[in-house]
Every structure is written in structure tokens, then in C-alpha cells.
Chain A
Amino acid sequence: MKPSLRTSLLGIAAPLVAVLFASIVGSVVIAAAGKDPLEVYQTMFSFSLTRFDSVMLILFRATPLLFSAVAVSVGFRANLFNIGVEGQYFIGSFFAAWVGFMLRGLPAVIHLPLVIAAAMLGGLVWALVPAFLKVRRGVHEVITTIMMNSIALSLVHWLIYVYLDPGQAIPGFGSPRMRTPHVLDSARMPTMHGLLNPLLKPLGVEIPQHVYLNYFLVLGLCVVFCVDYMVRKTPFGIEVRAVGHNPDAAETAGIDPGAVRFKTFLLSGALAGLVGLSDLLAYFGYLDIDFPKGYGFTGIAVALLGKGSPAGMVLSALLFSFLRRGAEGVQVFLGVPMDTAVILEGVIILAIVVASSIYGRYVLTVQKREAQSHADQ
């Protein structure tokens, strides 16, 4: 086998090895809890993949992860670690909800895009402070974005309280449900039942009513591939990669690394603003204190496992979504806590970076050897 082919095959193998290693660690954890790992994994697969509603649910749950992974990975390109996706999508979701329930009388073709733009603006606004501090004061973005996450959570809780849905109030008792009003119908994202169910009918399956698979999945796929195109082909994308690769060389070439980092950070924040929309506009319709958390952190795992390639990120998003769904099944049927999925997530991140590091060293050795043999000839 030619060395170049072998290295590229190994490059594909690295994520697979990481997932395999994680499932071994998972087995040990499951066994430690006194359950049979094989039975657990089997249940995980059969529950996730043999039920059509599970498959559709996996697609629905993968949707926010696409946005979150692309937000994280665009930061990686410029050597920025945006752990703030979590807070940025909370703020983005609030902006979206506010535009969704405050602006009345707009047709859906105007209202829905406005709501989406508001979400991006919210995410961008929440990225401003860490981006500014990173570029102008040299403060590492990891600590600031984590702090911004905590602040966002408190702020959104307060905002929910400020904009409490009057329809939920019971006179004399206050409001038992802490949530904003519903967004108007013109701001809701339609689900895909109308389009897909007639097509699926000949196959004897249909998307069940309780699965809110919607067009944000399509939008998410578009964003993943468009951002990849932007980074690879447009002048701005080339600047981003230049700054991420070697800021000094980029500066010599006339690029202002600070400005590029700042813009990339804001772009990452704006993309992060979209993370909560699938849940907000197609499922709940309102924001409450139990709005889904954690997409930002899972997005980091998805971005790392996908290694920045669009197809890789889509597959990883599906994998993590599958893990969550499978873990739910395992909890219900076998009584194994569904936090197994979170453990697997952490181990996969560690395993993928270690595998990539070993792989990188191997490639380097092979290249050295090749250069050596060329020199000898």
C-alpha cells in the first residue's frame, strides 16, 4: 500500500478508534453499575434504530447540534475556542422569542426570517464582550465565555420572569408556569410532516405527531456546508485559516489578525444564536426555565469528532443524537442512568484528540521517512 493512501485511511480510522475506545470505557462503567454492557448496547441499538419514531427523533435532536458544531468549528479555524455557544444560544433564543411574540400582524415570510435574524443578533451580542476582551486585552476566551454562559442563564431566567405569559396566570395565585407567551403562528417553523408523510406512506411508515422534525434540519445542513465553503473558498475564509494557522505569517502578509479573530468570533456567536430555534419555533413555541441546555457543550464534541469536515460533523451530530436516544431507551428498559451518554461524550472527546495526536505524529514520521528516501535516491 502506498504510504499516502495508508495515512488517509488511518485518518478516517482515528474517529472510529475513538468511538470504539469510548464504548469500551462505557462498558466498564456499565459493568461497574452491575449491568450487562452487551445487553445495554444491544438495547441502545434496537431501541434507536428499529423504531421509526426513534430515527426521526434522532434527526430532530441532531438539528441543534449541527448549528452548535458549526459555530464551534468556525472558531477553531481561527484558533478560537468558543465555549460560549451555550450562553449565546440562550440569549439568541430569547431575542427570537421576543420578536416572535411582540411583533404582530406580519406575514410569515417576513416574520420568520426576522425571528431567525434576531436569534443570530442575540448570539452575536453575547459574543461581543469575550471577542473584544480577546482581541483588545488578550484575555483568553475560554474563561470569559464560560462566565458569560452563567450570566446568560441568570439573565434569561430574569427576562422570562419579566415577560411572563399573562395567559398562564391564575388570579390570586400568580403564575405556576414560568414561561414567556407563545410566539405567533407567523413565527413558527413548520414541521416536515406535510412534505414527508405522503412520500413515506408507500413505505408504510410516517413521522409520528410527537416528533417535531422541521425545516431547521435542512437549514442546518445548508449552514454546515455553506460555512465550510466560505472557509475554504472565499477571501475572508482564507484570512481566517491563515490567522488560525500562523498569525505572525498572516500579519506579514498584510492581514490584521485581531480584526479577523474579532469577526470570526462574532460569526461563531451569530451561528450559535440559531441553536435553540428548532426547539423554540417548531416544538415548544415559548421559552421557559426548562428550555433544553447543553447543546453548546455537545457541539464541541461534535465539532472535534467531525474534525471540521462538514460530512464528519453531520455524522457526529447523528451519532451523539443516537447516543442520547439510545441512553433513554436503556434507562427505561434496563434502569441504567441515561447519563451514560454524557460519559461517552466526554470519553469520545478525549479519545478523538489523543487518536488525532498519535495519527499526526505518525504522518510526520512517514513524511520524514519519505523525504529521507527521496534524498537518498
Chain B
Amino acid sequence: MIDKFVRSVAEAIAGIKDGSTVLIAGFAQVGEPRALIDGLIETGACDLTVVHNTAGRGREGVARLIGEGRVRKIVCSFARSRGSVLFEEVYARGGIELEILPQGTMAERMRAAAAGVPAFYTPTAAGTKLAEGKETRVINGRECILEYALPGDVALVEAWRADRWGNLVYRDAGRNFNPVMAAAAQLTIVQTQQVADLGELPPETIVTPGIYVDRVVHIECGDPPVKIE
């Protein structure tokens, strides 16, 4: 019997090596696998490359991982932004390497990794500072830059419902980076708000097929925080 469920966050997160590339999903705290991030901090893993939309906000989650000095390099589309205090402290003292990517290029680099495409040309960022040092080519009259696939050693994902094969569905805007990160990593670890029996999720509604998923832990963490910005 295939059963990807594990009983604890510690079990879910076990075995992440120092130096790993960790893809961490979530957007504006929606669909963000907070329990798994906390679990990763608990393991003490360090020298990590983290791929996440931002360099963290506030003092929790990815911000805390950076603040505790576990992240050698952050790959993100929003570095300095409102609330990125811990990143800015560490960055100011040269304690973290930064790779800034356009958000869509970041997503597409992971999709390429998931799909076995080693690199692709894109017009995004052509002719800008972000193209510096990147291979450029004019295709159909348009300047494009070469971007390489961005695979993860590990992906941390939050689902709304999961079954024991690791089939996943997401809730509303909680989908965001989750499916593309789940598919782009060697070891995909999921926290799910709800558990479905095998066969209960209608096949046409499954967003992430279980083939991409290695471990699932049931964490009822409730709604994301309401924003008052």
C-alpha cells in the first residue's frame, strides 16, 4: 500500500542536508507551508539556497530562517520590501547572497526543471540590468535572454486537501507557487490542511498528481492572517 503520510513535522522534514536548495511556496502568506519552515529551522540545516517569492517579511517563516543565518543564498523577486527587516540586517553585513529574478522567470525556471527542459530563451528582462552576464539572442526579431532550469533538492508545499498517494488540491489563491515547486524538486514535502480518502478527490480536480509528492503531514493551521495594509 502506498501511504505518503507521516505523523509529524519532524518526520516530514527529516534528512534535509546542509547546502540543499529548498523551494518554499506561498504568496503573501497564503499557501505558505509555515509548519514545515519552522520544522526546517528546528533541524538546524544550514548553508541553504532558498527560492521563495520574497526575502521574508516580519520575523517569522522565511524571514526567521534568514535571520538565524541558515541561508547562504536567497533567490527571489522581492528582496527589499516592506517588512524585510531581517533580510536587510543580514544583507547589510554581507551575510547572504542574493539572486533577483523577475517573478515569472523564477516560476518558469522551476517549471523547466520539472519538465526536463535545461534552459529557455525569454524576452523578459532583455535589455535591463537583470540581463547582465546572461547569454542574449535575437529570436524572430526580438531580443531574448537565456535562463536555466532551477531545480530544488527539496520543495516545501502547503495543500488544502491531500490523499495518501500525495494527490493535492489547493484553496483559492493558496495555489500560487505550490504546484510548480512540488514538481521541480527531488524531495517534495507537503503539509495539508485536510485529508481525503484515496479516490475521494475527483481526478479532474487534482492539481498536483501524487507522482511529484514524497511526504505528506496533516497540519490544520487554519486560515492565513487577514491583512490590514
Instruction: Tell whether A and B belong to one assembly.
Output: no
Binding site for B on A (CB under 8 A): none
Binding site for A on B (CB under 8 A): none
